[in-house]
Amino acid sequence: MSHSVVIGLGQTGVSCARYLASKGERFAIADTRFNPPGLAEIEQEFPDVELWLGPLDAGLLCEASQLVVSPGIAISEPAIAKAMDAGVPVIGDVELFAREVSAPVIAITGSNAKSTVTSLVGHMAKKAGIDVGVGGNIGLPVLDLLAEGEKALYVLELSSFQLETTHSLRAQAATILNLSADHLDRYPDMLEYGLAKQRIYTGCKLAVTNREDEATLPVHEFKSGLVSFGLDQPEDGQFGLCSHEGKLWLAQGDELLITVDEISLSGRHGQINALSALALGQGAGIPMAAMLEALKDFQGLDHRCQLVHEHDGVKYIDDSKGTNVGATVAALNGLGVDGPIILIAGGDGKGAAFDELAEPVAEHCKAVVLIGRDANLIAEALKADTPVYQVSSMEEAVAQSVKLAESGDQVLLSPACASWDMFKSYIVRGQVFAAAVKDLCRAG
């Protein structure tokens, strides 16, 4: 009798197990860790399911009817690759979702801002009274969304890892928001990383692309609709910025939509996120009036250019979700117009180079304070006259920044790195930053 093997536990693996069980399908579970997260839940809910913990066994995987691989597990793992060579299909939770769902899907990927745009498009749909499910790489796993009963619309954030194992998604509107170096500890080069992202356009009805980033254009033959967004003046039907009577507007073609002063998202990165969300929402039929209302009161995301404290004229901003170089470049360029920046950066660079930081740091930063494993690599890449300080903890980084800051400055935590060398997650890293800021400012 055929059976699936769920590889990788945690939130996604548990949701896959529950889904397969709900379909009455036989499955086993494998994880490279001996005590993975979700193990207790699985043992309690499915006491009769086979569990294989520790190094993956290629022989056992080759006997499966299909492998359902969590995004945290590389499909290049030798045992998985061997099963693939033997003809065993390898899919993920998004593929299971795509095979079942009939409601339209807005699919969003990119190196940066995908969580913000996904949340914003979801907020737009809710404003329009649409029964919407928002999840994927943020919030609920897609199969948990499905378990709630089918929605009228789904808005999904999808990572390159999820897209690698997805074949049947036919999105109503899909986008690669941007592409910059990330996950080069998992991909051999930017080409392979970009090709994984490109899978989002397969079979979609509308591709939404970034005019400022050619890597967001579909590279394979594409016969469906195309619409673009950017910070320049848009051509007919496209989304961009227009000046009119001394004010800057979000616009579609020559139609003025809303002034940038009216939207809750700040800076250039806020404007481009708003434009991409409008293009995606329109592609899925969300009424424009509701989308514009949503832009006025969208609260943004925790740890994403979030103002956590202001003291003596200095703003302290938590961008701990800036886990790659592109995210930090966007934050520096977006916030630099508001005043000089003292940047706190560093952590686990995931194999990326930091050269792209040099120019925005030179332009916008009065100082850089570095922490974490790859602090030396960042320091070497900056090659600027900007003073650089290396410290050993977040508390020390905040203390150094407070010493350097003057009224009108911004202290920005935007690490350009993952958090795993020092913290459990980027969320904990942001919380430690905010706590240190408040403690020091209170003491001062």
The tens digit of pLDDT for each residue in 168-181 reads 999 999 999 998 86
- Domain shared by 100 and 247, yes or no: yes
- Domain shared by 230 and 166, yes or no: yes
- Domain shared by 266 and 325, yes or no: no
- Domain shared by 288 and 163, yes or no: yes
Between the alpha carbon of residue 139 and those of residues 50, 99, 115, 126, 307, the distances in Å are 28, 21, 10, 16, 22
Q: Which band of pLDDT confidence, cut at 50, 70 and 90, is reported for residue 405?
A: very high
Cα 194 from chain centroid (whole Å)? 15
Can you tell me the mean pLDDT for 83-104? 96
93-97, 172-176, 216-220, 238-242: range with lowest mean pLDDT: 216-220
Q: Which band of pLDDT confidence, cut at 50, 70 and 90, is reported for residue 302?
A: confident
DSSP secondary structure of 267-279: HHHHHHHHHHHHH
- Domain shared by 77 and 111, yes or no: no
Which pLDDT does position 409 carry in this prediction? 95
Joined together, the tokens standing for residue 12 give 């996604």
Can you tell me the mean pLDDT for 369-373? 96
- Domain shared by 53 and 102, yes or no: no
Is 395 strand, coil or helix? helix
Cα 23 from chain centroid (whole Å)? 30
DSSP secondary structure of 222-263: --SEEEEE-SS---TT-EEEEEETTEEEEEETTEEEEEGGGS
Report how far residue 124's alpha carbon sits from residue 173's, in angstroms, rounded to the nearest whole number. Answer: 15
* Number of domains, the chain: 3
> Of 226, 321, 230, 310, nearest to 274 (Cα)?
230
Q: Bridge-partner residues for 131, per DSSP?
A: none
Show which of 62, 91, 120 is a domain's final residue.
Answer: 91
Residue with token string 């379909």: 23
Show which of 297, 320, 340 is a domain's final residue.
Answer: 297
> Of 254, 267, 265, 263, nearest to 292 (Cα)?
263
Contacts of 58 (CB under 8 A, 6+ apart): 78, 79, 82, 83
Per the CB < 8 A criterion, the answer to whether 292 and 264 are in contact is no
- Domain shared by 104 and 225, yes or no: yes
Half-sphere exposure in the Cβ direction for 63 (13 Å, CA) = 7
What is the model's pTM?
A: 0.82
- Domain shared by 252 and 323, yes or no: no
- Domain shared by 84 and 99, yes or no: no
- Domain shared by 26 and 134, yes or no: no
391: domain CATH number? 3.90.190.20
Show which of 48, 71, 91 is a domain's final residue.
Answer: 91
Range of the domain at 19: 4-91
Q: Which band of pLDDT confidence, cut at 50, 70 and 90, is reported for residue 75?
A: very high
17: domain CATH number? 3.40.50.720
Which pLDDT does position 337 carry in this prediction? 76
pLDDT at 1 over 60: no
DSSP secondary structure of 364-384: HEEEEEE-STTHHHHHHHH-S
- Highest average pLDDT, of 71-75, 226-230, 354-358, comes from 226-230
Per the CB < 8 A criterion, the answer to whether 421 and 348 are in contact is yes
- Domain shared by 207 and 114, yes or no: yes
pLDDT in tens, 106-162: 999 998 888 899 999 999 999 999 999 999 988 889 999 999 999 999 999 999 999
- Domain shared by 292 and 187, yes or no: yes
Residue 416 per-residue DSSP state? S
Can you tell me the mean pLDDT for 370-396? 93
Mean pLDDT of the chain: 93
Q: Which band of pLDDT confidence, cut at 50, 70 and 90, is reported for residue 183?
A: low
Q: In this structure, how many other beta carbons lie within 10 angstroms of the beta carbon of residue 148? A: 10
| Catalytic sites, residue numbers | 114, 137, 183
